[in-house]
Amino acid sequence: MKTKILLAFAAVLYIAWNLFFLDKYPIIDLDDACMAEPAWSFVNTGHFSAPSFEGSYGLEKSDIYHGRLYIASISPFFKLFGVGPFQARIGSFLTGLFVLFLTYLIAKKLFSNSVALKSIILLSISGLFIICAHRARQEMLLVLFILLSFYLFLTSVEKKSILLFFFAGLIAGLSADIHLNGVIVPIMLFVLFVHEYKLRFIKEKGFWVCMAGVLTGVLWWIITHIMLDINLFNEQWNGFVMKEIGTPGASSGFNLIKLCANELKRYIFWFWSTTAHRNMVELVLLMIGLGGVAMKRGKNENILIVSILTFVIMFTLIVSQKAPYYIFLFFPFLIILFVKGLENVKLSKYIFAAFVLFYITLMFFVSMKYDDVNYSNYGHEVRNYVPPGRSVLADTILWFAFNDQKFYSELSYSYYYKVTKKDVASYLKDKNIEYVVFGRDQIESFVDSRYFKSNYQLVTTLYDEYFGSGGMLKKDTNRYLTLVYRKKR
C-alpha cells in the first residue's frame, strides 16, 4: 500500500513538473510556431494554411507537406484555450502519457511486470522523452502510432486475430500522415512478419490483411494530401521535400560508406556534442544493459532488436535530416531492451539506480536553468514597439505574439528568393513590410541592403536571457538581442 501511495505521489509530482516547464524547456523555437500556425488556421478557417509563409510553395493556401493528423490533434487545444506555446505543446505531453502506457503493455507482454515498470520509469524521465513531450512537433504522436502498431502485431500473432492484423496495418499506414518518417512503420511491420514467419509469411492470411490495412492508410494520405489539390501538392513536394530537404545521397549518389558516416552524425550530436558531453553517461549505461542482452537473448529480445535495426537502417537510407531527436522513434524499444538486459548483468540494481540518478540530475539542472523563462513577457515586450494592424517580418517564434496581424516568418524570404530569384528590396516592397524584428545575426542580408538602409530605421534593441538573435547568444552581454526596425514615413 505504501508503495502505491509513493508511486502515485511521484506521478503527480512528475506531471506537475512537466506542466510547469512545458513552455519553458526546450526554449520555444521555429518548429513550435510552424506546427501551430496551420492548426490555428484550421480552427479559424477550416484550412491547414500558413499565411506567414505567403509566396512560399503555396503554404498560404494549405500546408500539404506536414502531416494532417498531427496538426488536427493540437487544434482542439487552440479551440478550447486560445493560441499560445503552452496550448501548442500540451498535446505532445498528454500523448506522451499514452506512450508510457503502451511501453508498459509491450514490456509486460514480452517480458514481465518488473521490466515494464522499470522501463516506463526510465523512459518517462529520459532527456529524449522530455524534449519530445515538450515540443509542438510530431515525434510523440508518431511514437504512439509506432508502439500501437507494434503492440497490435504482437497481439494479432498471439490471438491469430485477422481484425487486429488489419488495424496494425492501418495504424502503420496512417503514420505517414503524422510525419513522413512514418513510412518506416509499414516497413517495420513487414520485417516483423518475415522475422515471425520466415518465408512462410507470404502464405499467411494475416499478412495480406495487414497490408490491406497499410494500403487503406496510404490511400487516406493520397486523398488528403494529393487529390485535394494535385498542383499544390507537386509544388510543395518538389519545393520542400526534394529541394529544401532532399534524400540521402541525392547530390553525391549512393555511397554506403558516406551514408553511414552521415547517419553517424545523429548519434554523435546526441551523445557527444551535448554540453560537457553529458549524454556519454547515457550511452555507457545503455551499452552495459545491451551487453547483457548480447550475453543471453531469446525470441522476444530479437523482436525488439529487429524493430530497432529497421529504424536505424531506414534512417541511413531514406531520412536526410540528421536531427538527434529522431532517435526517440525507437527509443522505447531500446529502453525495454536495456532493462531486460540488466537481468544478465551483475550489480544491475546499482546500474539502474545510476541511470535514474543521471536523468533526475538532468531534470534538476533544467529546473535551475529554465525556471524563469517567460515567452509571454518577451512577446509582449516586442509588441510594445509594433502597433496593431501593421505588417511585420520577424523571427518565426514571434508568430505566437503576432498571430492576430499580418505576420511573415523570417524563413519566408529565403523561400521567396529561391522561388522568384528576387532580392531583399523586392521582397520588402512586394509584402509591404512595415516592421522588421530580428536578431542581428538573422538579418545581416537585410541590414547590408542599400534599400533597407535607406528605408528602415532602428526603433529599439531588446535584451533577453533566452529569446532573440536567432538563438545565438551574445557573449559580450551574455544575453540575446532583438532589433526592431520601422519603415520610414
Beta bridge partners of 484: 437, 460
What's phi and psi for 61, nearest 5 deg? -85, -50
Long-range contacts of 372-378 (CB under 8 A, 24+ apart): 372/465, 373/23, 373/24, 373/25, 373/27, 373/466, 374/24, 375/23, 375/28, 375/85, 375/400, 375/467, 376/84, 378/464, 378/466, 378/467, 378/468
Which residues contact residue 16 at a Cβ distance below 8 angstroms, ignoring those fewer than 6 apart? none
Residue 6 exposed, middle or buried by CB count within 10 Å (0-12, 13-18, 19+)? exposed
C-alpha 169/C-alpha 148 separation (Å) is 10
**pLDDT per residue of the chain (489 residues) written in tens, 0 to 9:** 777 788 889 999 999 999 999 999 999 998 999 999 999 999 999 999 999 988 888 888 888 888 899 999 999 999 999 999 999 999 999 999 999 999 999 999 999 999 999 999 999 999 999 999 999 999 999 999 999 999 999 999 999 999 999 999 999 999 999 999 999 999 999 999 999 999 999 999 999 999 999 999 999 999 999 998 899 888 888 877 776 666 665 555 678 899 999 999 999 999 998 887 899 999 999 999 999 999 988 899 999 999 999 999 999 999 988 999 999 999 999 999 999 999 999 899 999 999 999 999 999 999 999 999 999 999 999 999 999 999 999 989 999 999 999 999 888 887 888 778 888 888 899 999 999 998 766 666 677 788 888 999 999 999 888 988 655 444 445 678 889 999 998
The DSSP bridge pattern shows strands 480-487 and 435-438 to be antiparallel
* Count of residues making up the chain: 489
- Cell readout for 195 is 522475422
Model pTM score: 0.94
Chain mean position to CA 443? 27
What does the pLDDT read at residue 388?
A: 92
Which residues contact residue 172 at a Cβ distance below 8 angstroms, ignoring those fewer than 6 apart? 145, 149, 182, 185, 186, 188, 189, 213, 214, 217
What does the pLDDT read at residue 143?
A: 98
What does the pLDDT read at residue 475?
A: 45
Q: Judge whether 124 and 323 are in contact, CB under 8 Å.
A: no
Largest CA-CA distance found in the chain, in angstroms, rounded: 76
Q: Judge whether 38 and 50 are in contact, CB under 8 Å.
A: yes
Name the nearest CA neighbour of 339 among 353, 352, 329, 350. Answer: 352
Every domain of the chain and the residues it spans: 375-487
Chain mean position to CA 85? 15
Q: Left if phi > 0, otherwise alpha if psi is -120 to 50, otherwise beta: which for 431?
A: alpha
Secondary structure of residue 318 in the 3-state scheme:
helix
* Helix (H) or strand (E) segment spanning residue 423: none
Which residues contact residue 447 at a Cβ distance below 8 angstroms, ignoring those fewer than 6 apart? 440, 453
What does the pLDDT read at residue 247?
A: 65
What does the pLDDT read at residue 55?
A: 80
